[in-house]
A and B are shown apart, each in its own frame.
Chain A
Amino acid sequence: MNADLAIDVRDLVKSFAHKRVVNQVSLQVKRGEIFGFLGPNGSGKTTTIRMMCGLLTPDSGSGTCLGYDILHQSAHIKRHVGYMTQKFSYWEDLTLRENLDFVARMYTMDNRRHAVDEALEGLGLTERANQLVGALSGGWKQRLALAACMLHQPELLLLDEPTAGVDPAARRDFWEELHQLARKGISVLVSTHYMDEAERCHKLAYIFNGTLLAQGTSHEVVAAQKLTTWTIYGEHMAELSERLQRMDGVEQTVLFGTVLHVSGTRPELLERQVRAAVQGTSFRLEQSETGLEDVFIFMMKHAGRDGAPLA
């Protein structure tokens, strides 16, 4: 066991109704690290997180969370971990204060009143403390949930899509806060579908169909796929994209509105092909860095085709 690791799980496996939902997942999260957990819908992120905090028993595999065994010491884990569920899971027919107070009581906190007041202040919701939670907007519910799961000052936060449905400004504030917490030594594992959030994590893992396809810093994850990418600017590129896709050496095209990313693993061949394709058109061509999104799409396609994980 490594004392530097907040999460250290090995070969987690979980099946529901004979379908493998999590397949041999191993994850290591260092203390004080913000770890991004990415993957398409239904890939097994929530299931993995639930196994890490002792809510779900894995079919096989083992591991520790804050040094406690995930199989036998879930009571200790619960005490020191803050888990924010993907679906809002506080009581809508209780007021904000009642909700926070209830959470504080569940953790049998000594300075309950003080902690609740502080949390409300931190949210800027002191005046609305006696409003029913059901009356809050989606984004505010999300922020309340975050405040509530941090109330007992956990050493590790497991956040399942905490910013889904939160406006950009609030999202920025939220990430500022996460980094502040990380500086204080709190570890965070956060699942997300936003690429800009993925870029802000110290480390990343990408899971697809229950299998972890990559793990490391975003640089490492991108570099591991050895992709070269060219960007084409212009309008109405759907036809161009289709043409490129049929060419040798072009392994992937991704269209983002007026920007087309063309990627491949053979740099010279790719360059020749894209140059030929834009020859005599008004499209502008530029070599660019391969982004996380290009890599995720690439990994997903390959895993789907080969049925086996890369890396």
Chain B
Amino acid sequence: MMFFSKASFSRWWSMVVKEFLQLKRDRLTFGMIVGIPIIQLTLFGYAINSDPKHMPTGLIIEDHSEITRTIIATLKTSEYFDIVGEFADESSASRALARGDVQFVINIPPDFTKHLLRGERPALLIEADATDPTATAMALSSVNSVLEYVARKDLTGPLQHLAPAPAPFEARVHRLYNPEANTHFNIVPGLMGVILTMMMVLMTGLAITRERERGTMENLLAMPVKPLEVMAGKIVPYIAIGLVQASIILVAARIMFGIPFFGSIFLLYFAALIFVAANLMVGITISSLAKNQLQAMQMTFFFFLPNILLSGFMFPFRGMPQWAQVIGNVLPLTHFNRIVRGIFLKGIGFTDLWPQIWPMLLFSWS
């Protein structure tokens, strides 16, 4: 923004001061500024886990032998399955699955050991309540390695020939940037953008429609203050608030969640500044369309929804169909998420971030 005269600057500053005064008196908004980041962080950071462990598991054991006991014991020691009981037959197990009492039923069929010893590759049946695929995916993929481990350990001596031969080559996976695959390493930095989007769009949207709704806008317009000064006076306090919120999240990420921070803090604030500006523009646009605060609120949520769903915050960006990726790439949050995760976890620098920064700049100006 450019100001040409001293008078103009002083009017703009008076707008800023007035905005802060009103904000200070508005306990609810003030509480939201500090409260929402904390609440969201706690909820998302602690509650969301796409790698759930200790899931209730039932057993149907129709073959008791040394080997089946080892299999069960090994499954128990894996973090994924908590054996909650044994079912007498198939139908009671099905009911428990349907009711949601158990997530898995592991069925060791009769003569499992006999078939195994004959080298017939018997099957171990695992039924999973896969209504939520994310909940079961990791557990299921761990089963085979459990079995392989048992086979290697127990099938020794004369049974050696039954043990699986290791593949002649192996894949060595390096999980870069988040070696333990912690969900909140991904979620918490992502929250910074989500919270900023929500608060910035909502608050500027409301700040201007509020003046209109209360009739004070009419009064402002009748005074020799220029619309640009009014707008700028409305925006600046919220940029400051946005940066405060970003700091709250940053500190909480370090202290509450121990998220590593490899990048440059200056760069993070720089990106946040542009991102906040982009969202404020959305807020201003909304406020010029909305007739009252309720409409502004509805429009904010209309804008917020694709941001949450398509920005790669909740679901992997590369898993989305092409059209959704196109939409996602327009949203500033998508780019900001890549930036923040990049700075936090990868420590990348400005030149690597530029491809994400210019779309946000473009968005701000259009």
The interface of chain A, by Cβ under 8 A from chain B, is 53, 55, 75, 78-79, 81, 83, 85, 87-94, 98, 102-103, 105-108, 132
Contacts and interface: CB of A to CB of B under 8 A. Distances in A.
A108 B223 contact: no
A89 B10 contact: no
Contacts of B25: 93-94, 132
A87 B215 CA distance: 7
Contacts of A87: 215, 218
Contacts of B10: 105, 108
A103 B223 CA distance: 8
A106 B218 contact: no
Interface string B1-15: 000000100110010
A55 B224 contact: no
B227 to A, nearest CB: 12
Nearest to B23: A93
Nearest to A92: B214
A94 B21 CA distance: 7
B49 interface: no
B219 A85 contact: yes
B26 interface: yes
Interface of B: 7, 10-11, 14, 18, 21-22, 25-26, 214-216, 218-225
Contacts of B222: 53, 55, 78, 81, 83, 85
Contacts of B225: 106
23 contacts: A55-B222, A79-B224, A81-B222, A85-B215, A85-B222, A89-B214, A89-B216, A90-B216, A90-B219, A91-B216, A92-B214, A93-B26, A94-B21, A94-B22, A102-B14, A103-B223, A105-B14, A106-B11, A106-B14, A106-B220, A107-B224, A108-B11, A108-B224
Closest CB pairs A-B (n = 6): A89-B219, A105-B14, A106-B223, A89-B215, A83-B222, A87-B215
A105 B26 CA distance: 23
Residue with the greatest number of chain B CB neighbours at <10 A, chosen from A87, A105, A132: A105
Which of A88, A89, A103 counts the most B-chain CB atoms under 10 A from its CB? A89
Given A89-B219, A98-B18, 19 more contacts: A55-B218, A55-B221, A78-B222, A78-B223, A78-B224, A81-B222, A83-B222, A87-B218, A89-B216, A90-B219, A91-B22, A91-B216, A92-B214, A102-B18, A103-B223, A106-B14, A106-B224, A108-B7, A108-B224
Given A90-B219, A106-B223, A98 B14 contact: no
A75 B219 CA distance: 14
A53 B222 CA distance: 8
B21 A98 contact: yes
A88 B224 contact: no
A89 to B, nearest CB: 4
Contacts of B221: 55
B14 A88 contact: no
What's the dominant secondary structure at chain B's contact region? helix
Contacts of A94: 18, 21-22, 25
A75 B223 CA distance: 9
Contacts of A103: 223
Contacts of A83: 222
B32 to A, nearest CB: 16
B226 to A, nearest CB: 8
Given A94-B18, A98-B21, A105-B11, A89 B223 contact: no
A93 B22 contact: yes
A205 to B, nearest CB: 21
Nearest to B217: A89
A94 B211 CA distance: 13
A78 B219 CA distance: 11
Contacts of B26: 93
A78 B218 CA distance: 12
A87 B219 CA distance: 10
Nearest to B18: A102
A87 B26 CA distance: 22
Contacts of A53: 222
Nearest to A54: B222
Contacts of B22: 91, 93-94
Nearest to A158: B222
B206 to A, nearest CB: 14
Nearest to A89: B219
Contacts of A79: 224
Given A102-B14, A105-B14, A108-B11, A89 B218 contact: yes
Contacts of A85: 215, 218-219, 222
A53 B7 CA distance: 22
A75 B8 CA distance: 13
A105 B21 CA distance: 15
Nearest to A101: B14
